[in-house]
């Protein structure tokens, strides 16, 4: 009887010790799958956004072709006098296809009321601009605007300070859409 009780005790202790290890391993696997799913969703939105931009603006395709890389962010912004927003995106080096997953945040004060969902597209003219954007992040200053809208985008076909920026909403390409007060940085979680 003692041998049976001892064997049962050993089994209970072994299960108690093994269960957290199995749970931790399963949790880690779940985190990896969750990260992979988040990256896949970001990539899907980025591809759809680029295709939509090219369909709406032929000059955007020409800038893309001339660029050494690009980034697309899917954003949400809420404004009730004060505005705040955030989102995620991906920056891609065209030469090697390497992807860097990033976050963005925005905030400000001004007239505004409502919720806005939009995508921002960046084309990088050179490697130095792309590298700086990815490694150091980027913060739009008060004068930063997106080059877009049918007439504005047709007229503005060059990079400015190494960047071409487009902003798309549900209504289409924005004319001089403001990206000021927005910061972009690497997403440590998705780049593991």
Q: What is the pLDDT of residues 16-56, one digit of tens each?
A: 444 444 445 455 555 667 889 999 999 999 999 999 999 99
pLDDT at residue 91 is higher than 50:
yes
Query: How many degrees, rounded to 5, is the angle at CA 103 between CA 98 and CA 108?
Result: 145
CA distances from 43 to 50, 113, 141, 170 (A): 11, 30, 27, 19
What are the tens digits of pLDDT across the range 96-117?
999 999 999 887 766 666 778 8
- Element housing 104 (H / E): strand 99-124
Domain that holds residue 15: 1-192
**CB contact burial 100-110 (16+ within 10 A = b; e otherwise):** bbbbbebebee
pTM of the model: 0.74
Rounded to a whole number of angstroms, the CA Rg of the chain reads 23
Which two structure tokens, joined as six digits, stand for 160? Answer: 């400015």
User: What is the domain count for the chain?
Assistant: 1
Mention every residue, 6+ apart, whose C-beta is less than 8 A from residue 85. 75, 76, 77, 78, 105, 106, 107, 116
Residue 5 DSSP SS3: helix
The per-residue pLDDT for 115 is 77
- Stronger pLDDT, 174 or 160, i.e. the higher one: 160
């Amino acid at each position: 009887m003692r041998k049976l009780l001892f064997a049962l005790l050993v089994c209970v202790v072994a299960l108690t010790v093994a269960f957290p290890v199995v749970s931790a391993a399963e949790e880690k696997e779940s985190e990896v799958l969750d990260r992979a799913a988040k990256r896949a969703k970001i990539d899907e939105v980025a591809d759809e956004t680029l295709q939509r931009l090219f369909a709406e603006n032929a000059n955007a395709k020409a800038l893309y072709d001339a660029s050494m890389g690009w980034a697309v962010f899917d954003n949400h912004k809420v404004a009730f006098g004060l505005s705040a927003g955030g989102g995620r995106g991906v920056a891609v080096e065209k030469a090697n296809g390497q992807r860097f997953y990033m976050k963005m945040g925005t905030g400000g004060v001004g007239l505004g009321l409502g919720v806005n969902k939009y995508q921002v597209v960046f084309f990088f003219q050179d490697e130095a601009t792309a590298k700086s954007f990815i490694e150091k992040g980027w913060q739009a200053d008060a004068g930063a605007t997106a080059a877009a809208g049918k007439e504005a985008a047709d007229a503005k076909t060059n990079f400015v300070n190494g960047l071409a920026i487009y902003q798309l909403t549900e209504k289409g390409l924005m004319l001089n859409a403001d990206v000021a007060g927005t910061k972009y940085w690497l997403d440590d979680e998705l780049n593991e």
